Structure 1
Amino acid sequence: MNRRLIFLQKKWNDARIKIKFRLTFGLISFFIILLAFIANRGISNITNDTKTIQESGQLQSNIEHYHSAHLQWVANVNRLLTDENVTDLNVETNPQLCEFGKWYYGEGRKKAEELVPALSTILDKFEEPHHILHQSAIQISEVFQQADHNLSEQLNKVKVAHLIWMNSLEGSILEGKPNYQI
């Protein structure tokens, strides 16, 4: 091995300056191209990671939007039960046609599962409760009857009048005097 090094060193020393420049320039060019390739690959990885982060952020934003949409949906069902001015249930009862359902049963979910494969098992757990939620709205709509909001006040007046009458009756019985009115 020592002989080979000596031989190469002698060859290098005997080589013309022109050859030395070409060889050195070639090596430097090779390393610059290699470095550029490595840098380009690193930048490409950073760009891909940035796209993944953006898509993840968009997915999170979409899920928050659909959660908010269903909270509004529930509030609309609640309005039917609590607001005397609301007499009809105006919510989407088909679980595949609400905002979340369109995403859940459409391309949105497929893209989300491609981005985060672990979401598949989590999202599978949403189907039954989501279906039940919409079915409950159908059942509420079928049996709903608008309540008379004045009924409570009227019942309280009758109750008070009845208590006054009972008190008068009790006093009459205790005193032995019939001064009550029926």
Structure 2
Amino acid sequence: MTCAEQEDIAILAQKIVSDHMLFVCAQNAYDLWNSKTGVSNSHLFQAQKHALEIRKKVLLMVENKKTIDALDFCGSILSFDGSDDKQSSIKQSLSSLVFLDLLQSGKYTEAVKFAKLSNCINRKLLTLIGYKNTDDPIFREIAVSINRGDIVREINKHLFKKETGRESSLLSLAINHYNSIVSYQNNKNAFELYYSIKLTKY
């Protein structure tokens, strides 16, 4: 391998690591990594850093149960007019989570008011109106269907795609592609072994 090829591989590796930090919103690590690789003053880096900060802000709102703020903020940066299926899905997920958070925090009146104003809440969740005991097995069974972590990942992937055109980091895509190749090869080997054994019987 020539020196030029080694340098190209090193640059590619740096970009892949930086891209993954960007995707997972590892802001401090992203800043430190790019300051050491000498690209922290570029316009592209500044734009990506700003986008990362916006994504992280939204994700922290959802994680910290500030879901009304998250819904309002997402409404300001996304199109919630029904013209985009993915964004409509995010609106429904967030609206359902707002309703659930209000119920679980004992704000029953606010939850009912929000439900009347919103047409995006998961219909099954509406059956929880009237439950004041959030430890009730039926309440918990229905509430668990709204997964906060899944919603965080859904929002992150969508906002990242708006920035890069991809729903995953380059590292994740490479790993998934590698696993697909390994899976295909294993299935192919198993298929060939099966027929080689079958043929020996004749």
**TM-score, normalised relative to structure 2:** 0.27
Q: Return the structure number with greater relative CO, CA threshold 8 A, min gap 6.
A: 2
**TM-score, normalised relative to structure 1:** 0.29
Q: Of the two, which has the highest radius of gyration? A: 1
